[in-house]
């Protein structure tokens, strides 16, 4: 009859109609229920009785509408929640929750929907992170295969030579016209972007390796200029060169852990870099120059080591390394690197050691 009316309006109208029809039915049947004298008296008040019946029916219809309206608010909230559930969206209606049974049911639906969405988002984020880690590891495994060339009068070791973990730093040493050039690069975080940037650095080093006749110092400046051409944020970087003839070494370092020099059972810590991350916007470069004598080993450690060990900072780790290597006279750079690796394995285990990078170069003789 009224297709556009809502259910609460129809029910209220039905309540009013039923009440009024029952009252009219009672008026029609009162002749059979009462005597002649009483019927005459009641007929005198028939319009008053009709008015009272109509008023009562209206009040009953209004009360029914009011009660249904309260219930329908909670039902509407439940309907909206079910719709959100089916469409995988969550939008808070902003309506105040009722304290009746339907309101409690709506509240439970809302909590369940929120927990479902939170769980789905967590699972989705975990799945995305897993895929990114897998992609990062594939990129790292593809490019991080170091081939060390023999360089006259130099003893070189790079750990690890290969890596399938995107968390590991990139480390490499290549020959130059007067000695060698080395790089150690990594990021505090790991992902496909970070691995791609390390692959870019590896590409620069590979191209530089094919270049002949360049001195180490000139190559350091060229690599520095090439890196500054592309902004790479949060990069821990060390570039260095070492001349075999006079032992001059130049170090450009942007990381927490400083370079280390080991000789005759004593480990010396070089000054710590003022900047932790590579500042590609700066035009100035501070290349620290030192002398590496025959029998001395120049060591560069990845900043990832500070995350793997139980040390509470850089200084405690360096002290532990000094104590560990004190009095030990290593025969070659490989023995030194493996011994440092044993120390790190004790601190973090083999799985943690795979994230680290150690680069060692020593002068054999003049």
Over residues 266-271, the mean pLDDT reads: 88
Domain boundary residue, one of 80, 100, 132: 80
- Same domain for 61 and 152, yes or no, is no
Crossing angle of helices 314-325 and 333-353, in 10° steps, is 130
41 has pLDDT over 80: no
Q: Would you state the pLDDT for residue 250?
A: 93
Domain boundary residue, one of 50, 80, 110: 80
Q: Would you state the pLDDT for residue 165?
A: 72
Q: Would you state the pLDDT for residue 4?
A: 57
29/239: higher pLDDT: 239
Over residues 57-75, the mean pLDDT reads: 69
Backbone dihedral region for residue 293 (phi beyond 0: left; psi -120 to 50: alpha; all else: beta): beta
77 has pLDDT over 60: yes
Q: Would you state the pLDDT for residue 16?
A: 67
Over residues 59-78, the mean pLDDT reads: 68
Domain annotation covers residue 105 = no
Q: Would you state the pLDDT for residue 184?
A: 92
pLDDT band at 11 (very low <50, low <70, confident <90, very high): low
Strand partners for 183: 172, 239
Distance in angstroms (rounded) separating the CA atoms of residues 331 and 250: 25
Over residues 253-280, the mean pLDDT reads: 88
Domain boundary residue, one of 52, 80, 108: 80
80/97: higher pLDDT: 80
Domain annotation covers residue 104 = no
Q: Which range among 94-103, 295-304, 325-334, 354-363 shows the weakest confidence by mean pLDDT? A: 94-103
Number of structural domains the chain divides into: 2
Contact 329, 276 (CB under 8 A): no
For the stretch 115-130, pLDDT in tens is: 777 776 676 666 666 7
Q: What is the pTM of this model?
A: 0.65
Contact 240, 250 (CB under 8 A): yes
Q: Which range among 34-38, 185-189, 254-258 shows the weakest confidence by mean pLDDT? A: 34-38
- Same domain for 206 and 336, yes or no, is yes
What is the span of the domain harbouring residue 155? Answer: 143-363
Distance in angstroms (rounded) separating the CA atoms of residues 30 and 24: 10
- Same domain for 189 and 309, yes or no, is yes
- Same domain for 75 and 205, yes or no, is no
Angle at 277 between CA 273 and CA 281, to 5 degrees: 110
For residue 241, the domain's CATH number is 3.60.40.10
- Same domain for 349 and 255, yes or no, is yes
Greatest CA separation found in the chain?
142
154/74: higher pLDDT: 154
Domain annotation covers residue 343 = yes
pLDDT band at 5 (very low <50, low <70, confident <90, very high): low
For the stretch 129-188, pLDDT in tens is: 677 666 677 766 666 677 777 888 899 998 887 777 777 888 889 999 988 999 999 888
Sheet holding 297-301, edge to edge: 154-159, 358-363, 297-301, 260-263, 266-269
Sign of CA dihedral 77, 78, 82, 88: positive
Domain annotation covers residue 52 = yes
Q: Would you state the pLDDT for residue 248?
A: 92
Distance in angstroms (rounded) separating the CA atoms of residues 238 and 259: 9
Q: Would you state the pLDDT for residue 253?
A: 92
Q: What is the four-CA torsion angle of 155, 161, 167, 171, rounded to 10 degrees?
A: 40
Q: State what percent of residues in the chain have pLDDT above 90.
A: 13
Strand partners for 288: 251
53 has pLDDT over 70: no
Domain annotation covers residue 59 = yes
Domain annotation covers residue 237 = yes
Q: Would you state the pLDDT for residue 243?
A: 92
Over residues 186-211, the mean pLDDT reads: 84
Q: Dihedrals φ, ψ of 283, to 5°? A: -90, -10
Contact 296, 180 (CB under 8 A): no
- Same domain for 56 and 155, yes or no, is no
Q: Would you state the pLDDT for residue 237?
A: 92
- Same domain for 217 and 355, yes or no, is yes
208 has pLDDT over 80: yes
85 has pLDDT over 90: no
Domain annotation covers residue 118 = no
240 has pLDDT over 90: yes
68 has pLDDT over 70: no
Q: State what percent of residues in the chain have pLDDT above 70.
A: 64
Distance in angstroms (rounded) separating the CA atoms of residues 266 and 295: 12
Q: Where are the beta strands (DSSP E) in the chain?
A: 154-159, 170-175, 179-186, 236-243, 248-254, 260-263, 266-269, 288-291, 297-301, 358-363
Residue 148 DSSP class: P
Number of H helices, E strands in the chain: 9, 10
Nearest of 148, 200, 190, 153 to residue 169 by alpha carbon:
190
């Amino acid at each position: 009859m009224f297709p556009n009316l809502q259910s609460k309006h129809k029910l209220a109208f039905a309540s009013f109609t039923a009440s009024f029809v029952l009252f009219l039915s009672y008026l029609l049947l009162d002749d059979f229920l009462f005597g002649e004298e009483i019927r005459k008296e009641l007929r005198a008040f028939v319009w008053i009785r009709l008015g009272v019946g109509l008023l009562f029916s209206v009040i009953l219809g209004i009360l029914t509408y009011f009660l249904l309206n309260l219930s329908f608010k909670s039902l509407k909230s439940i309907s909206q929640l079910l719709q959100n559930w089916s469409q995988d969206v969550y939008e808070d209606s902003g309506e105040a929750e009722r304290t009746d049974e339907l309101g409690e049911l709506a509240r439970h639906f809302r909590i369940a929907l929120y927990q479902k969405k939170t769980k789905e988002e967590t699972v989705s984020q975990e799945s995305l992170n897993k895929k990114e880690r897998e992609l990062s590891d594939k990129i790292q495994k593809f490019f991080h295969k170091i081939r060390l060339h023999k360089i006259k009068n130099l003893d070189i070791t790079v750990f690890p030579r290969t890596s399938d973990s995107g968390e590991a730093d990139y480390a490499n040493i290549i020959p130059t016209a007067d000695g060698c050039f080395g790089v150690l690069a990594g990021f505090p975080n790991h992902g496909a972007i970070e691995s791609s940037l390390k692959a870019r650095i590896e590409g620069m080093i590979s191209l530089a390796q094919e270049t002949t006749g360049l001195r180490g110092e000139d190559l350091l400046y060229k690599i520095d200029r090439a890196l500054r051409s592309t902004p790479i944020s949060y990069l821990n970087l060390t570039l260095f060169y070492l001349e075999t003839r006079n032992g001059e070494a130049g170090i450009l370092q942007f990381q927490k852990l400083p370079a280390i020099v080991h000789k005759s059972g004593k480990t010396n810590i070089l000054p710590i870099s003022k900047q932790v991350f590579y500042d590609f916007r700066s035009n100035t470069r501070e290349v620290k120059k030192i002398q590496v004598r025959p029998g001395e080993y120049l060591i560069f450690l990845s900043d990832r080591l500070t995350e793997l060990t139980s040390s509470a900072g850089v200084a405690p780790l360096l002290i532990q390394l000094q104590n560990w290597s004190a009095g030990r006279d290593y025969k070659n750079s490989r023995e030194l690197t493996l011994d440092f690796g044993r120390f790190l394995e004790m601190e973090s285990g083999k799985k943690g050691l795979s994230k680290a990078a150690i680069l060692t170069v020593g002068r054999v003789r003049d």
